[in-house]
């Protein structure tokens, strides 16, 4: 897959859905809208494409077989909903392309969230869940297989807080047909959420056969520059992907964020991140179309 860098990703899907008035305060978060309000997801994707995003990330972050089956769906219906996340992104892209002629066709990255996202208790920002490697494999493998056989362009393993979970994902991705990126949630400028040095994570994936990019997402903007420097020392020829959140504090019980930072900080730091070696840049929770549009201008002006 030939890509042009830097590649601009989209921003947070949940905040754009909430801006539309969608209530996401339940276990499945944005994934609940796959059946109840798919048009809202299409509209959110479209808003990012219209803001300059060259890659949109699907609404499958919290869409898992166990999650859907726990609320009454059978395995077949749950699988269909996971695949629907890609179809909705395709529909958004088709609508965008029907009235726009970008230099290159926007890409679709299939979101693969961590086990902690399924728990819906905020542990994707701690990495402290207790589960065996086999249980992690059993959790991730069906969704990866589904999305690897979908029309998505990329597999996006994102907000990974736990190095042991990353190792399990590494094994599963060895058999994937699609290229993948792996991005970690980090607690500071040197460590992922479970305390593992980010350099160790980057070194582990530096020679992976299908992982083309290593990086960080849903982490405060203040840590991104230091994290890029650390990743760069150990990542070999891999691309670096960064898409921070707004720097706010997440409350798992209410699925809300508080203490938002100045959202212009990401825009101002984009050039610095590019200069440090970031190849794929975007935003996560709290970063919306306005910020992505500003990032697009920074990138185009460079």
| Residue for token pair 């803001």 | 51
Predicted pLDDT at 101: 94
Answer yes or no: are the C-beta atoms of 38 and 74 closer than 8 Å.
Answer: no
The DSSP symbol for 31 reads G
Q: Where are the beta strands (DSSP E) in 145-229?
A: 154-160, 180-184, 211-217
Tokens linked to 149: 């056989």
Cα–Cα distance for residue pair 189/187, rounded to 1 Å: 7
Label residue 254 exposed, middle or buried (CB < 10 Å: 0-12, 13-18, 19+): exposed
Cis geometry, peptide bond prior to residue 6 (ω within 30 degrees of 0): yes
Predicted pLDDT at 267: 67
> What are the structural domain ranges in the chain?
7-250+266-301
Answer yes or no: are the C-beta atoms of 129 and 123 closer than 8 Å.
Answer: yes
| CA within 13 Å, CB half, 166 | 30
Cα–Cα distance for residue pair 64/28, rounded to 1 Å: 9
Predicted pLDDT at 269: 87
Please provide residue 183's backbone torsions phi and psi, each rounded to the nearest 5 degrees. -125, 140
Q: SS3 string of 100-129?
A: CCCCCCCEEEEEECCHHHHHCCCHHHCCCC
> How far from 97 is each of 14, 17, 40, 85, CA to CA, in Å?
24, 22, 18, 19
Per-residue pLDDT of the chain (302 residues; tens, 9 = 90+): 667 899 999 999 989 998 888 777 776 767 789 988 999 999 999 999 999 999 999 999 999 999 999 989 999 999 999 999 999 999 999 999 999 999 999 999 999 999 998 988 888 889 898 899 999 999 999 999 999 999 999 999 999 999 999 999 999 999 999 999 999 999 999 999 999 999 999 999 999 999 999 999 999 998 999 999 999 999 999 999 999 998 755 444 544 434 445 556 666 789 999 999 999 999 999 999 999 999 999 999 87
Answer yes or no: are the C-beta atoms of 123 and 163 closer than 8 Å.
Answer: no
Cα–Cα distance for residue pair 40/56, rounded to 1 Å: 15
Helices (H), the chain: 13-19, 33-36, 38-50, 65-69, 75-99, 115-119, 133-148, 163-173, 198-205, 224-234, 264-276, 289-301
Predicted pLDDT at 144: 98
Tokens linked to 107: 């890409």
Predicted pLDDT at 291: 92
Q: Partners of 215 in the beta sheet? A: 183, 241
Predicted pLDDT at 299: 93
Nearest Cα neighbor of 231 from 296, 194, 166, 182 is 182
Predicted pLDDT at 252: 45
**Residues 6+ positions from 257 with CB-CB distance below 8 Å:** 245, 246, 248, 249, 250, 251, 285, 286
168 conformational bin, left if phi > 0, alpha if psi -120 to 50, beta if neither:
alpha
Tokens linked to 117: 């996202």
Tell me the CATH number of domain 7-250+266-301, given options 3.40.140.10, 3.30.230.70, 3.40.640.10, 3.20.20.330. Answer: 3.20.20.330
Nearest Cα neighbor of 205 from 227, 171, 235, 179 is 235
């Amino acid at each position: 897959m030939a890509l042009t860098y830097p590649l601009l990703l989209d921003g947070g899907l949940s905040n754009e859905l909430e801006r539309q008035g969608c209530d996401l305060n339940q276990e499945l978060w944005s994934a609940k809208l796959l059946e109840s309000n798919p048009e809202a997801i299409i509209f959110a994707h479209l808003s990012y494409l219209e803001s300059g995003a060259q890659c949109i990330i699907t609404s499958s972050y919290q869409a898992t077989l166990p999650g859907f089956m726990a609320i009454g769906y059978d395995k077949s219906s749950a699988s269909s909903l996971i695949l629907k996340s890609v179809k909705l992104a395709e529909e958004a892209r088709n609508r965008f392309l029907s009235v726009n002629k970008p230099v290159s066709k926007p890409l679709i990255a299939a979101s693969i969230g961590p086990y902690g996202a399924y728990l819906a208790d905020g542990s994707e920002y701690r990495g402290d869940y207790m589960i065996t490697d086999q249980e992690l494999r059993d959790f991730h493998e069906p969704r990866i297989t589904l999305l690897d056989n979908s029309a998505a362009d990329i597999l996006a393993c994102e907000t990974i807080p736990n190095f042991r979970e990353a190792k399990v994902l590494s094994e599963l991705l060895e058999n994937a047909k699609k290229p993948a990126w792996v991005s970690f949630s980090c607690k500071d400028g040197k460590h992922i959420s479970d305390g593992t040095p980010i350099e160790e994570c980057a070194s582990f994936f530096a020679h992976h056969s299908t992982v083309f990019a290593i990086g960080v997402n849903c982490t405060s903007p203040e840590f991104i520059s230091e994290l890029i420097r650390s990743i760069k020392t150990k990542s070999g020829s891999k691309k670096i992907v960064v898409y921070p959140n707004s720097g706010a504090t997440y409350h798992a019980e209410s699925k809300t964020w508080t203490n938002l930072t100045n959202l212009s900080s990401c825009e101002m730091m984009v050039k610095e991140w590019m200069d440090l070696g970031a190849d794929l840049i975007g935003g996560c929770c709290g970063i919306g179309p306005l910020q992505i549009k500003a990032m697009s201008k920074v990138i185009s002006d460079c």
